[in-house]
Amino acid sequence: MKFLPDEVLAKILTRTGAENGDLLFFGADSAKVVNDALGALRIKLGHDLGLVKGEWAPLWVVNFPMFEWDEHDQRWNALHHPFTAPRTDDPAEVQANPGRCLSRAYDMVLNGSEIGGGSVRIHRQEMQNTVFELLGIDAEEARAKFGFLLDALKFGCPAAWRSCLRPGSTGDADGRGRFHPRRDGFSQDPECRLSADPGAGAGHRDAVARSQHPFAPHALKKPLSAPAALPAGERRLKRPESVLVVIYTAMDEVLVLRRRQPADFWQSVTGSLRWEETDPLAAARRELREETGLGDGVEVVGCDTINRFPILPPWRHRYAPDAVENVEHVFRVRLSERPPITLNPAEHSEYRWLVRAVAATQVTSYTNREAILRLP
């Protein structure tokens, strides 16, 4: 507080209504870092102090920022995806002030968990070109990555590309796997998991936007927990199924690891299943041993949580062309105290033990963040 002038302190006290004995929490950094840190702290204190109420509290979240600034790469990124429409219809306004531009995206949240969301799509070529330009995507890259969608846009926005509040549509994704556990009073339920649309496939896609790669037979007929029948020459590709292992102590400290590539990517223990592995728990134990040196006497507990998320463009080359999403099995390890950690120097450069609220803001992956905040 010694760095704040008296007039600033007076305004803070007036605005918050704080009195003697009250405790105010501050953060000093970029808006994103402060919001993430104080948001995690608010959730942590709410649970610790018994302030979380049991009644249903659904709400809509709107007015998301259109872009977020990447300090490391010094560039703008799409907060939702590059086809989300801005609230303004003027491309010049978007170009002039991307940091203040809001998007037509929305989420439905129930008791702190997203159960649905989507966005209105860009339907004018001029606006789409402006967004691509801000994101550093030139015409050649746009054609290579999104050519089939851009061709569809020429014919008018197709039905499967429009936003509509209908489960399973392109504009909205519902979270029934998160809804039912909360309806029944549980934080998690192994029988209520997010899963891919069983009707997905070549025949389910929009005829105008047509996919560049059909699904391979092994991807449609075999469960992800079984080894995929890939030819030997393709086994160098990563399997689109992984494990996430969160390690924490009785003092509520969480272990986070810093990857060598990409730089400044922090995470818990994570890794892909090998093609011959059939048991995610066995894979979790292997990754734990390889990345931290922890093995004998350490109990790995399944969290009954399975996350599904799309494989992002920077990692596409590591997977088969028909792999569109990764399936992540979540585990946890609770230790009485900090053990010695032996890193794999090929994968990680350093590690830290952080209190839970801080660790949740340090990790890069949103599924990693959720797994940390849900620790018992």
pLDDT digits 0-9 by tens, 175-184:
555 555 444 4
203 — phi, psi (to 5°)? Answer: -75, -15
Which has more pLDDT, 188 or 53? Answer: 53
State residue 278 phi and psi, 5-degree precision: -115, -15
Residues in the chain: 376
pTM of the complete model beyond 0.75: no
Residue type, 178: R
Lowest mean pLDDT among 24-38, 249-263, 285-299: 24-38
* pLDDT on residue 35: 85
Distance of alpha carbon 103 from alpha carbon 3, whole angstroms: 36
The enclosing H or E element of 125 equals helix 125-134
Which regions of the chain does DSSP assign to beta strands (E)?
Answer: 58-61, 67-70, 75-78, 105-110, 113-119, 172-174, 241-249, 253-259, 266-267, 269-272, 301-310, 325-335, 348-355
| Pair of tokens at residue 280 | 């995610």
DSSP-based three-state secondary structure for 154? helix
- The residue with greater pLDDT, 239 or 222, is 239
Q: Is 19 helix (H, G, I), strand (E, B) or coil?
A: coil
| Burial of residue 289, with CB atoms counted within 10 A of its CB: 0-12 exposed, 13-18 middle, 19 or more buried | middle
Find the range with the poorest average confidence among 76-90, 214-228, 240-254: 214-228
Q: What is the pLDDT of residue 212?
A: 41
What does the pLDDT average to over 47-68? 85
User: Average per-residue pLDDT in the chain?
Assistant: 78
Out of 49-58, 147-156, 311-320, 333-342, which region has the weakest mean confidence (pLDDT)? Answer: 147-156
Model confidence pLDDT, tens digit, residues 306-364: 998 888 777 778 888 878 889 999 999 999 999 999 999 989 999 999 999 889 888 98
Tell me: pLDDT of 277 over 60: yes
Q: Is the pLDDT confidence value at 7 over 60?
A: yes
CB atoms within 10 A of CB 333: 22
Confidence of residue 157 (pLDDT cuts 50, 70, 90): low
Highest mean pLDDT among 54-58, 73-77, 315-319, 349-353: 349-353
pLDDT at 193 over 90: no
214, with CB counted inside 10 A (0-12, 13-18, 19+), is middle
Q: What is the pLDDT of residue 164?
A: 39
The winner for highest mean pLDDT among 89-103, 146-160, 307-321, 356-370 is: 89-103
CA-based nearest residue to 238, from 283, 282, 193, 201:
283
Cα separation, 371 vs 247, whole angstroms: 11
- 310: nearest Cα among 194, 225, 229: 194
